[in-house]
Amino acid sequence: MSLIGLVLGLLLLCAFGIACLAAIPTKTPRTSQPGAVAWTIGAGGLAGLFLATLWLRALSFAGVHFGVAAIALPIAAATVALVGWIARRGGARDALRGSLRDMGSALSGSSLEGTARILWRLLLLWVAVRFALLFIEVATRPLYPWDAWTQWATKARVWYELGRIAPFARTDDWFAAGGAAYYDAGSHYPGTVGLLQVLACNFLGRWDDALMNLPFWMMAVAFAFAVYGALRGMGFEPLAALAGTWLVSSLPLANAHVALAGYADLPLALCFCVAMLACLRWLEAREPADAAVALMLLAAVPLLKIPGRIWALFALPALVVGLMPRRGRRIVGAGYAVAVLGLLVLAQTNPVILSYQLHLDFAPDWEALANSFFLYDNWHLLWYGAVAVALLGRRQLLAPQVAPLTAVVAGGVLFLMFVLLFTNARAWVSDQTTVNRATLHLAPLTIIWMLVVFRAWAQARRDASVAAVAPDPSPDTPPPATVTAT
């Protein structure tokens, strides 16, 4: 095998996910939904890569040795079967032609005119060049040290050489086994990142600690497609949707995690963001395909990293607010208020329940946090923009179309503040080793929330301007005549 085999193998996995998503019937044809093709490519690609890791788990459980044939042939057969089933639907060819025509028109910007078309092409070129440069970084840079070396790739190397998944023992169990067990610095961490690297090495045909990280790059590309499709589905114009895609694709720290791939934080952030977008799409249109994407990627989040167990729960506030527009906001707001009050109480008291001490220490390093979010260039102007948008659109934060996303972002901020201010993770804030990686989980979704809130604010301003200039009935105009029955 070779680099071509690696690329084709990963494209096959993405194609399988896209076919699975396209096979789910929709209430309205996808070609008539703005951004539906881009959404299907992006969300389906992410789902396909995750489904492939589940397939590796199934092969290992069944005692089947990892190999290209065992991995690729069943997935290829399933993909062909799904495509054939889709093709037998009425109007499938017309839908395919329409999708290809729409994609060509969108890429060229032919539907735009003048300055808008020039800006479209410049932004599209910018995004394409950025991903091309990131591809070169991933393909040529060996595995970067620290956690990627000691917690994630260790599993990939062992599993690739063995051709199956072998458990990694904790420190005490490893000592008890006399070294007859596998051990690394994150023995209790989920293995999805390692399985993605195992997939790449199998398609490549050899162990390569640079090229095995190509799935991270492909996930980033798929995420860009998904964000564009989601923004178009929310009603953003093509240029605005592309600008939003450019924003999420140019986050400095996210790009660093693509170029220096091997950590679980980037896949967690991408899967969590697309899962939340799928929840919002389902709340709007009740499409089964969106529910399937949301469930699949929410299942991926805790299998990528332990904090994902908490992040996945933030779909609940979005669903509560979206399904119960009147009472949901009060319920979620009350829940967050109780959580904050509980933290404050535990920080001031020292209760002991069932021999567990529940006291929380509150000793934040405010200077280090301010440096991380507002001074260093990990985020550039992201958090300045988030504060500004929150202030500008404070009256629109709980509008029906904005409230579910606000609930998720607010909950995510509370979770981050709890981790960084009240737990032992605050010891890693001052040396900047964890604070930014933890924040990355929420950052892409925060950008989309900023776009939605800013659009709602701008629309409210336009409506107010129109109402201000609308002609009022003249007080000198006599009232209409009335007829009184006699």
Average pLDDT over residues 223-231: 96
Q: What end-to-end distance do the CA atoms of the chain give, in Å?
A: 99
Q: What is the DSSP string of 334-360?
A: HHHHHHHHHHHHHHH---EETTEE---
Distance CA 308, CA 266 (A): 12
- 425: tokens are 């993770």
> Does position 141 have pLDDT exceeding 70, yes or no?
yes
Average pLDDT over residues 297-312: 95
C-beta separation of 451 from 236 below 8 A: yes
| pLDDT given at position 325 | 87
C-beta separation of 336 from 411 below 8 A: yes
Q: Which amino acid is at 114?
A: G
Q: For the CA atoms of the chain, what is the radius of gyration?
A: 25
Calculate the alpha carbon distances from 363 to 243, 393, 417 in Å. 39, 32, 12
pTM above 0.85, yes or no: yes
- 237: tokens are 């114009």
Distance CA 243, CA 221 (A): 15
Distance CA 30, CA 354 (A): 55
How are beta strands 356-357 and 352-353 bridged, if at all? antiparallel
C-beta separation of 456 from 235 below 8 A: no
For the chain, the maximum distance between any two Cα atoms, rounded to a whole number of angstroms, is 110
| pLDDT given at position 486 | 35
> Does position 102 have pLDDT exceeding 70, yes or no?
no
Closest listed residue to residue 451, CA positions, set 459, 462, 463: 459
Domains in the chain: boundaries: 3-88+97-304, 308-462
Residues 6 or more apart whose CB falls under 8 angstroms from that of 442 comprise 269, 272, 409, 412, 413, 416
Query: In 109-152, which ranges are continuous DSSP H helix?
Result: 114-140, 147
Q: At what angle do helices 403-422 and 328-348 cross, to 10 degrees?
A: 10
Distance CA 449, CA 203 (A): 38
Q: How confident is the model at residue 365 (pLDDT cuts 50, 70, 90)?
A: confident
Looking at every residue in the chain, the average pLDDT score rounds to 89
**Residues 390-442 pLDDT 10s:** 999 999 999 999 999 999 999 999 999 988 888 777 777 877 778 899 999 99
**Residues 8-47 pLDDT 10s:** 999 999 999 999 999 998 887 777 788 899 999 999 999 9
> Does position 68 have pLDDT exceeding 50, yes or no?
yes
Average pLDDT over residues 254-276: 95
For CA atoms 201, 56, 75, 226, the dihedral sign is negative
C-beta separation of 241 from 226 below 8 A: no
| Buried/exposed code over 264-280 (b: 16+ C-beta within 10 A; e: otherwise) | bbbbbbbbbbbbbbbbb
> Does position 446 have pLDDT exceeding 90, yes or no?
yes
